[in-house]
């Protein structure tokens, strides 16, 4: 486990996404953007604390979304598509995690074809992250990004999603792995160094999985 005490530049961190599981093994997610005053003093050693605090908030905000995502395992695609209007009336905070509705439903169709619940869950949660990458790329074309997570399957879903949907574009996005909430020592030091280098336009999307057994 790596604890790098060098502070991270607040404005260089695009998003921190916390992904958690509940007792019924259904996934919830919450995109957490701490105040700049917190980010200014945040070091890599704080990420697990932030993730754990975020988990509680995620469960409060995402309970409705969790229920709707669970429907994908029991309802037909047609039934799910019929509930688009209802999904669009969800709480704004929940909608923030599912803005790319059409893309999510395309992944559900893929899931129905694969009949692989595990892959479906990872693909569905990868959707908002892919959307975040798209947004950064469209607004800051030269920005470099790094996505890190402690779930290889989740990272694969992001990589495959970007490759499958947007093969004609270059996303300049590095996919890395978090090990127990931290990237490997060498990788962590490199990320911190780049974040604190004014000449390096790195943008980082940190993903933390706080689960019962990922």
Q: What is the pLDDT of residues 81-98, one digit of tens each?
A: 555 555 444 444 444 434
Q: How confident is the model at residue 2 (pLDDT cuts 50, 70, 90)?
A: very low
Tell me if 1 is assigned to some domain: no
The domain containing residue 27 runs over which residues?
Answer: 10-210
The reply to whether 137 falls in a domain is yes
What distance in Å separates the CA atoms of residue 77 and residue 181, rounded to the nearest whole number?
35
What would the pLDDT profile of 155-193 be if each residue is shown by its tens digit?
Answer: 666 777 666 555 544 455 555 554 333 334 455 556 556
Residue 58 pLDDT greater than 60, yes or no: no
> Residue 40 — φ and ψ, nearest 5°?
-60, -30
Q: What is the pLDDT of residue 129?
A: 67
Percent of the chain with pLDDT over 70: 1
- pLDDT for 146 equals 66
Structural domain includes residue 54: yes
Average pLDDT over every residue of 26-39? 43
40 inside domain: yes
Contact in structure between 139 and 150 (CB atoms under 8 Å): no
* C-alpha closest to that of 147 among 58, 39, 21, 19: 19
201 or 26, which is more confident: 201
Is there a domain that residue 5 lies in? no
Q: Which residue has the higher pLDDT, 68 or 40?
A: 68
Between 123 and 132, where is the model more confident?
A: 132
| Residue 26 maps to a domain | yes
The pLDDT, as a whole number, for residue 196 is 62
Indicate whether 112 pLDDT > 60.
no
How many domains does one find in the chain? 1
pTM score over 0.75: no
Q: Does 3 fall in a domain? A: no
Contact residues for 1 (Cβ-Cβ < 8 A; gap 6+): 179, 180, 181, 182
Residue 94, SS3 per DSSP: helix
* Mean pLDDT of all residues in 104-131: 51
For tokens 């919450």, what's the residue?
A: 30
Residue 67 lies in a domain: yes
């Amino acid at each position: 486990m790596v604890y790098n005490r060098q502070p991270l530049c607040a404005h260089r961190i695009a998003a921190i996404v916390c992904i958690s599981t509940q007792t019924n093994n259904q996934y919830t997610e919450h995109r957490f953007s701490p105040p700049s005053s917190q980010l200014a003093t945040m070091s890599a050693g704080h990420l697990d604390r932030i993730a754990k605090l975020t988990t509680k908030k995620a469960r409060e905000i995402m309970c409705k979304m969790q229920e709707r995502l669970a429907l994908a395992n029991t309802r037909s695609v047609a039934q799910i598509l019929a509930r688009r209007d209802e999904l669009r009336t969800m709480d704004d905070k929940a909608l923030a995690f599912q803005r790319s509705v059409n893309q999510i439903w395309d992944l559900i169709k893929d899931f129905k074809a694969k009949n692989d619940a595990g892959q479906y869950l990872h693909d569905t949660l990868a959707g908002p992250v892919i959307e975040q990458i798209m947004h950064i790329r469209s607004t800051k074309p030269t920005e470099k990004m790094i996505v890190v997570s402690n779930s290889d399957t989740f990272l694969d879903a992001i990589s495959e999603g970007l490759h499958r949907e947007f093969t004609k574009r270059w996303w300049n996005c590095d996919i890395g792995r978090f090990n127990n909430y931290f990237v490997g020592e060498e990788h962590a030091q490199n990320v911190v160094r780049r974040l604190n280098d004014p000449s390096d336009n790195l943008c980082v999307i940190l993903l933390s999985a706080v689960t019962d057994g990922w």
